[in-house]
Amino acid sequence: MPRESQGAKRERLGKIIAGLKRTYPEAHCELNYRNPLQLMVATILSAQCTDKQVNIVTKDLFKKYKKAADFTNVPLEELQNDIRRIGLFRNKAKSIQNACRTLAEHHKGKVPRTMPELVALAGVGRKTANVILGNAFGVNEGVVVDTHVARLCERLKITSAKTPEKTEKDLVKLVPKEHWTMFSHWIIWHGRRRCDARKPDCPDCEIHSLCPSAS
């Protein structure tokens, strides 16, 4: 395939976005949450874990812990036990407690709305911060790059970057800012429902004609 210019790639990506938008009009964050604090906790728990498993655990977790202070007012071992069905639960419990302690001490128990304040919280990197800003606050600060987004964007030849940071840097240059949050949802939904890592359903793919890797 000849080298694609940035202009041609941007045009093709526009068609990909339109196709995915038509295919997944109901696309949304599949972590269950009712407020920014719950989304922060759920996103920390979701690292190397499926949204489905996180939702199973948070169903009871969020009944017990309603405020940031609730997470800090119990022994660490108790919180670890409450999330023990999640991978890396010991480290994640520490991160949640430390993040919530910062919220309680410096943010009046509220999740902040800026990238610098969010990434200063324990367990919150740029990806988690983008999830919170885009979904809890409607702020398009960047593009969430998880395993699905990285994999599909490479398969679609949108970027050849090998790290989430570089992938995001490429995407924010190509994806219209108003779509930054939804772009990740559309790509993630497509990755989970059509473009499987091992057996992509190319014949029935809605963006088959726009994918250089399609078989």
For 154-193, write each residue's pLDDT tens digit.
999 999 999 999 999 999 999 999 999 999 999 999 999 9
For 102-153, write each residue's pLDDT tens digit.
999 999 999 999 999 999 999 999 999 999 999 999 999 999 999 999 999 9
Residue 58 inside a domain? The answer is: yes
Asked whether residue 121 falls in the same domain as residue 91, the answer is yes
Question: Residue 127: which CATH number?
Answer: 1.10.340.30
Asked whether residue 132 falls in the same domain as residue 40, the answer is yes
CB-count burial class (<10 Å; 0-12, 13-18, 19+) for 93: buried
The catalytic residue among 9, 82, 92, 127 is 127
Model pTM score: 0.95
The catalytic residue among 51, 70, 146, 170 is 146
- Quick check: is 67 catalytic? no
- Quick check: is 127 catalytic? yes
Residue 170 inside a domain? The answer is: yes
Place of tokens 């800012």: 177
Q: What is the mean pLDDT of the chain?
A: 97
Percent of the chain with pLDDT over 70: 100
Asked whether residue 40 falls in the same domain as residue 121, the answer is yes
Asked whether residue 115 falls in the same domain as residue 158, the answer is no
Residue 215 inside a domain? The answer is: no
Domain interval for residue 185: 6-28+143-210
d(CA 132, CA 37): 9
